[in-house]
Amino acid sequence: MNAISPDLTRALSSTGSEAAQALPSSLFGLPEQPAHERVLLAADPLSGLKAIIAVHSTARGPAFGGCRLWTYDSELAALNDALRLSQGMSLKNALADLPFGGGKAVIIKPVGDFDRAALFAAFGRAVQSLAGAYITAEDVGTTTADMRGMQAETSYVSGIPRDGAFGGDPSPKTAYGVFVSIDEGVRRVLGRSSLEGVRVAIQGLGAVGWHLAEYLHVAGAELLVADIDNAKLARAQAQFGARIVDVQQIIAADAEVLAPCALGAALNAHSVPQIRARLIAGAANNQLATAADGDALHARGISYLPDYLVNAGGIISVAREYRGEGSESAVMAEVGRIRERVAELLDRVATQGLTPARAADEWARSKLVKPA
C-alpha cells in the first residue's frame, strides 16, 4: 500500500531505473523462484478493464495486497510488476505476522477518457471470481473511493472509511512504519541517539512521502526532498524548512539517510555507486532492481532496510480493518512494533554474516507457513 507522485514516477522512469527490472521469462512467476499459485488475467471490453491479479502464496491465509492503476509500456511490463509486487506482499505479510498470504493486482490504465466507476466495478467482479483467495485495497493510482465503489461487486476489499469503526486511507500508517524504522536504524547504524539534525533525503512526496516528512520534521531531522510537483516542494520548504533537490540528483544527495518513496528498482547498478547515505529505508516497493544490488550496497557499507519490512504499516492497517479488529491507537502500536523487527534484522545481519536484504528474505520465507 503506497501512494506516490505519478509525475515523479514518470520523471524517474526516464532515468532508466525501470529498465533494470527484466521482463519475466515465465508467465507463472519470477526467475529462479517457485511458480505463483495463481495468475488471473481479467478483461472487460465495456469498461476497458485489463487487469492482472497475481496470487503468490496463500500458505498463511488468503492473499492480501493492493490494486495498482498505472500506464505500462507493455502488457509484459504490467505482468512483471504484478509478479514482483505480489511476491513482496507474501514476504511483507509474513514478517508482519499477519494471517494472510501475498497477492497484488495491477490494472493497465485505459488510454483516454474512461468511466472509472465502471472500470472498478468490473475489477470488483474479477476479485469476486476468486472467491476470497485474494483481498484487495488501494495502492498507487487508486483511492478509497475506488475501493468503496467496488463493495457492490465484492466483499473482498479493504481500505475504506467506515462509520464508527477503524478503517480508511492506510498511507499515514505506512509512513509511520518507515519513520520508526529510520529512527531505529539511525540509532543502530549511525550511532545517533535521536533524529535531531540527521539529514534525510526523501525521494517522492506522495501521500506516504509527505506523511513521512511530517514525522521526520517533528523529530528534528533536516529534510532534502525531490518531487516533480513544484507546489508540493514549495509547501515542504515552507512547512518543514526542506532543501529542494532535483529528482535526478536525490539518490546522490549529501544525506545520512535515503528514503526512496517513489519508483521500484531505484536501487540499481547505475544508482548504487552514487549513493552517499549510510542508511536506506523508504516506502517504495521493490527498491532493489536485483538481489545483487543489495550485495553491492552492503559492500559499500550502506545498510539497506528492506522495503517489505519497513513499509508494512499500510497492510497492517487494512488487514485489521478487514478483520474488524483494533482501533486507531492499537493499530498504531502494532505498526510501531516494526521497530523491533528492524532491530532483530540488524542482529541477524551481525550474527549470520548475511546482507540485510538476504537475511530478511531468508527470515520472511521461513515464515511462509500457516500461522499456529
3-state class (DSSP) for residue 139? coil
Sorted by sequence, the CB contacts under 8 Å of residue 234 that are 6+ apart come out as: none
- Cell numbers at 359, concatenated: 537475511
Distance in angstroms (rounded) separating the CA atoms of residues 170 and 215: 15
Q: Mark whether 104 is an active-site residue.
A: yes
Active-site residue, selected from the candidate residues 104, 173, 367, 370: 104
Q: How far apart are the first and last CA of the chain?
A: 26
Kindly report the CA angle at 252 between 8 and 17, in degrees rounded to 5? 50
Q: Which of 287, 291, 267, 304 is nearest to 365 (CA)?
A: 291
Provide the total of helices (H) and of strands (E) in the chain, helices listed first.
Answer: 13, 12
Residue 19: DSSP 8-state: G
3-state class (DSSP) for residue 126? helix
CB 189 within 8 A of CB 303: yes
Query: Residue 42: which H helix or E strand, with range?
Result: strand 38-44
Cβ neighbourhood burial of 364 (10 Å; 0-12, 13-18, 19+): buried
Looking only at the bridges linking them, the beta strands covering 38-44 and 49-57 are: antiparallel
CB 308 within 8 A of CB 95: yes
Enumerate the active-site residues: 104
